[in-house]
Amino acid sequence: MAATATNNPLLQATNRGLECTAGGFTIDPYQSTRISVITHAHADHARRVAEVYYAAKSSVALLKKRLGDDIDIRGVEFGQPFQLGDTSVSLHPAGHVLGSAQVRVEHNGEVWVFTGDFKRDPDPSCEAFELVPCDTFITEATFALPVYQWQPGSDVAAEIWQWWQSMRAADRPAILFCYALGKAQRVLSELTQYTDLPVYLHGAVTPLTDIYRQAGVSMLPTCAVDIKDKRKCYNGELIIAPPGASGSRWVQRFPKAGTGFCSGWMRVRGNRRRRGYDRGFVLSDHADWNGLLRTIEETGARQVLTTHGQAGALIRLLKERGIDARELTTRYNADGESDVSDAV
């Protein structure tokens, strides 16, 4: 691969987003632009600000749900190059949520890759991460601290299943709060190893789950919660809701409910107590510390840029290893999702 042209960056962070002047497009823009390439459908990466959108074909339905059916969106197969300006662009699975993509940009023999949000861990609800060699690697750093190391998703699903069964034995509802796009569907898919019982969904989770099911993702059967039906008893049932529903009037429909929160942030003791949940389950759709280091090494990149998260320790370590590393200023969210508003 060619040496990185640090004085003339192929991709650079601006007030519009991650811009590629040579290609005439912006990745995950936050202000008006003509052509955008979207990594995935979470609200901090997908906004209705472009005239034309390029995205992975499997994310098109989710993006239309978020941004509207009338957007001009071009679905692209993973690994299929397409020309934008003077650049060759291709999308590659990021393993974050359904249809999430890394963006590979090549210009004059130089290759840059932007990961968007990504993870290396197996996930039955979305496409597996694909390693893409490059000269410059632009990565998230949401969980870029050694304390953040994940156990297999199947093990976390076993913990959720056991908690659900304890709530059934106590004749209480079990409300699991998790992000409506990606995390909820991963839980529903991981739990198929342990049961075929139906799960009840908050109204914000249902339409996104329907899109996953239409895409062929295997999940537990689901039913929508009907809060107007006062006769329905939810004792012993598992109910999945977005974090924004916690503390709302909606939760009052489930007296005596046990509550859990599913997130990588639960890896640090105290987060569960501060957020007021009974149980915390450590399940993340972002790369952990080891996943970040492994990926950076395997790409062969000579330059590493971080877009959001806890980058300080990562950048120091990379510099010690002789890699040119620095942080970019972007508006992407370390949570990766903006709660209830992200689930419509």
Give residue-wise pLDDT tens across range 19-45: 999 999 999 999 999 999 999 999 999
Residue 300 lies in a domain: yes
Coil, helix or strand at residue 294: helix
Note whether residue 7 is domain-resident: no
Q: What is the mean pLDDT of the chain?
A: 92
Q: Closest Cα to residue 213, out of 249, 188, 177? A: 188
Mean pLDDT, to the nearest integer, of 308-326? Answer: 94
* pLDDT tens-digit map of 272-296: 555 689 999 999 999 999 999 999 9
Nearest to 140 by CA among 103, 115, 105: 115
pLDDT at 72: 98
Q: What is the pLDDT of residue 342?
A: 37
Sole residue written with tokens 């059916």: 69
Mean pLDDT of the 80-90 span? 98
Residues found in the chain = 344
Residue 131: phi, psi to the nearest 5?
Answer: -70, 130
Q: Number of C-alpha atoms within 13 angstroms, CB side, residue 10?
A: 30
pLDDT higher than threshold 60 for residue 226: yes
CATH number at residue 109: 3.60.15.10
Query: Can you give the pLDDT at residue 338?
Result: 41
Strand order in the sheet with 50-56: 12-13, 18-20, 25-27, 33-37, 50-56, 73-76
Which backbone phi and psi does 157 adopt, to 5 degrees? -60, -35
Residue 111 sits in the same domain as residue 131: yes
Domain C-terminal end among 281, 302, 329? 281
Tokens of 191: 């739990």
189 token code pair: 């898919």
For range 80-95, the mean pLDDT: 98
Residues 114, 228, single domain; the answer is: no
**What is the distance between the alpha carbons of residues 195 and 178, in angstroms, rounded to a whole number?**
19
14 Cβ neighbours under 8 A, 6+ residues apart: none
Angle subtended at Cα 294 by Cα 290 and Cα 297, rounded to the nearest 5 degrees: 145
Model confidence at 343: pLDDT above 80: no
CA torsion sign for 334, 337, 120, 12 is negative
Neighbours of 34 (CB within 10 A): 11
Of 118-132, 181-195, 270-284, which range is least confident?
Answer: 270-284
Which residues pair with residue 222 across a beta bridge?
199
Q: If DSSP codes are grouped into helix, strand and coil, which group holds residue 323?
A: coil
Q: Is pLDDT of 344 > 50?
A: no
Q: Which residue has the higher pLDDT, 231 or 126?
A: 126
Place of tokens 């304390």: 147
pLDDT tier, 333 (very low <50, low <70, confident <90, very high otherwise) = confident
Token pair 């060699």: residue: 133
Residue 210 lies in a domain: yes
Residue range 188-192: average pLDDT?
98
pLDDT at 339 over 50: no
pLDDT at 205: 98
Residue 1 has pLDDT above 80, yes or no: no
Calculate the alpha carbon distances from 333 to 14, 140, 156, 250 in Å: 16, 10, 24, 26
Reported as a pLDDT band with limits 50, 70 and 90, residue 341 is very low
Closest CA to 145 of 269, 268, 263, 313: 313
Domain boundary among 281, 302, 323: 281
Give the residue-averaged pLDDT of 116-126. 97
Instruction: Please choose, from the candidates 21, 36, 99, the residue with its C-alpha nearest in 3D space to the C-alpha of residue 63.
Output: 99
- By percentage, how much of the chain surpasses pLDDT 70? 93
User: Domain range for residue 299?
Assistant: 12-148+285-343
The pLDDT of residue 271 is: 64
Tokens of 19: 């811009």
pLDDT at 78 over 70: yes
In a domain, 115, yes or no: yes
Distance CA 240, CA 108 (A): 48
| pLDDT (average), residues 113-141 | 98
Q: Buried (b) or exposed (e) across 143-167, using 16+ Cβ within 10 A?
A: bbbeebebeebeebbebbbebbeeb
The answer to whether the CB of 173 falls within 8 A of the CB of 167 is yes
Pair 115, 232 in one domain? no
Please check the confidence at residue 97 and state whether its pLDDT lies above 60. Answer: yes
* 136-141 vs 199-201, strand pairing mode: unpaired
**What proportion of the chain, given as a percentage, has pLDDT over 90?**
86
- Assess whether pLDDT exceeds 50 at residue 4: no
Q: How far is Cα 298 from Cα 282, in angstroms, rounded to an integer?
A: 26
Q: Do 236 and 163 touch, CB atoms closer than 8 A? A: no
pLDDT at 3: 38
> What's residue 332's pLDDT?
83
What pLDDT, on a 0 to 100 scale, did the predictor assign at position 247?
Answer: 85
Q: Identify the pLDDT of residue 137.
A: 98
Give yes or no for residue 334 having a pLDDT over 70: no
Q: Per the domain annotation, does 171 fall within a domain?
A: yes
Which pLDDT score is estimated for 337?
45
Instruction: Identify the H or E element spanning 190.
Output: helix 183-190
Which stretch of 106-120, 161-175, 210-224, 243-257 has the lowest confidence by average pLDDT? Answer: 243-257
Residue 335: predicted pLDDT: 61
Mark which of 261, 281, 301 sits at the end of a domain. Answer: 281
User: Is 6 within the bounds of a domain?
Assistant: no
Q: Say if residue 159 is in the same domain as residue 120.
A: no
**Alpha-helix residue ranges (DSSP H) falling in 191-250:** 206-214
What is the C-alpha to C-alpha distance for residues 172 and 159, in angstroms, rounded to an integer? Answer: 17
202 and 134 share a domain?
Answer: no
